Amino acid sequence: MHYTVGEIAKALGVTAEGDLSLKVSGVAEPQAAEAHHIALAMKPEFAAMIPEGGAKVAMLWAGADWRGMGLAAALSAPRPRFALSGLSAMMDAGQGYAAGVHPSAHVDPTAELGEGVSLGPFSFIGAGARIGSGSVIGPQCLVGDDVTLGEGALLHAGARIMARVTVGARFIGHPGCVIGGDGFSFVTPEPSGVEKARASLGGEGTDSAQSWARIASLGAVTLGNDVEIGCNSCVDRGTVRDTRIGNGVKMDNLVQIGHNVVIGDDTMVCAGAAIAGSSVLGRGVVVGGCAGVSDNLRIGDRVILGGGTMVLSNVPEGRVMLGYPAMKMDAHVESYKGLRRLPRLFRDVADLKKAVFNTGGTD
């Protein structure tokens, strides 16, 4: 794909200067850029590396001296990284999924395929499934019985949408994601050690081992519009009601969403994070990498959980949390500073004890 600088500027709504007829076909870091690339130099420290490459045009910050950098043209925006969102979409060559239905794909006779649906090799569409128009189902994907998949969906290789799941429009499921696997729900004939430990805050534990009885997941999963689920991430179905994921939710790789969880619109869950069963996350929440939320908790709107944070109690809206157990980030930072000062404090106390002993003090 080749675009002129002028075409890109018009499509993105950004400012273009210099030779707008220059054609480019990709993007690159400044030091590795060639003549057909747009150098991504959105900060002065990146722009300093432009002379190391061969780019003639760069994406810069507003007001940058592009002529002084030896460029023939420049694109600029008040928020260059936001402009990169549109630019990267224009330059994305995709995964090469072919149009049409591959001969090895299985489509149940009762399934409904919208106009322009693409099915890759060895994909499976179950009974009663409804696939929205313009959707692309990559190779070795599963769309289970009675699934509803909205228009414009993209399932990458190996994605699994289990039975009776409802997915909104423009869904993106990356390789290996599983939507609608059973929840992790088990119970013992008598109160378990876990139940006793929780009730007693650790004062009482397991008396004897018991066998676990499985609780079947009778609910499903409902996803809103514009949801994206990363590689090998899982959203479990609900026990009785559906697990619900709001509009615009984005999940990274290796994320685990437990049964009955409710996630509000525009929430982001980063790699390796886990949300335990029946917890509710508000709108615009950000869950950092490898963070965890315990079960049956409520996380308010716009809460930010820093990487590795472990939440064991409810969090009011707007809080920024860090640590294990989670606390307000500023308090955690102060406590960490105090922890780092402990060795010096111990040395000071030891020196004071020596001074008191040397002066003959007894009190």
Active site positions, annotated: 259
Helices (H), the chain: 5-12, 44-47, 80-91, 193-200, 329-358
Sign of CA dihedral 207, 208, 213, 217: positive
- The two tokens of residue 89 are 């979409």
User: SS3 for 333?
Assistant: helix
- Residue among 94, 250, 249 at smallest CA distance from 157: 94
Contacts of 182 (CB under 8 A, 6+ apart): 216, 217, 236, 237, 259
Contacts of 132 (CB under 8 A, 6+ apart): 114, 117, 149, 150, 151, 152, 153, 169
264-269 long-range contacts (CB < 8 A, ≥24 apart) are 264/301, 265/224
Instruction: Name the DSSP letter for residue 72.
Output: S
Chain-centroid distance, C-alpha 339: 32
- With contact defined as beta carbons under 8 Å apart, do 118 and 99 qualify? yes
